[in-house]
Amino acid sequence: MPKRLFLKLKNHPSKWLRVSAGVLLIIMGLLGFLPVLGFWMIPLGVILLSVDFHWMRRLRRRSEVWWGNLRRRKTKHHPTKHP
């Protein structure tokens, strides 16, 4: 999904368009093993739904913190070697 289209959809005044697109992205993302569809659709759907639903916003924030902590721990245990 092009970035410009996603930003237009995220800022669209119609709540139901955002919710429909978010749910559709998540459902299609669950079929990510098929060609053309991908698991990358799930986070985009969550981001779209987090605009309108506080519980989804909380889920998104928690997953961002979890991912950041995981990456920080991984970097701490496996530092990159500089010449």
Yes or no: say if 51 and 6 are a contact pair by the CB < 8 Å rule. Answer: no
Q: Which pLDDT belongs to residue 82?
A: 57
pLDDT reading at 79 higher than 80: no
* H, E, C per residue of the chain: CCHHHHHHHHCCCCHHHHHHHHHHHHHHHHCCCCCCCCCCHHHHHHHHHHHHCHHHHHHHHHHHHHHHHHHHHHHHHCCCCCC
pLDDT digits (tens, 9 = 90+) for 10-60: 777 888 888 898 899 899 989 888 877 788 888 888 888 888 889 988 988
Yes or no: say if 21 and 47 are a contact pair by the CB < 8 Å rule. Answer: no
Domain ranges of the chain: 3-77
More confident residue, 8 or 48: 48
User: What is the pLDDT averaged over residues 57-64?
Assistant: 90
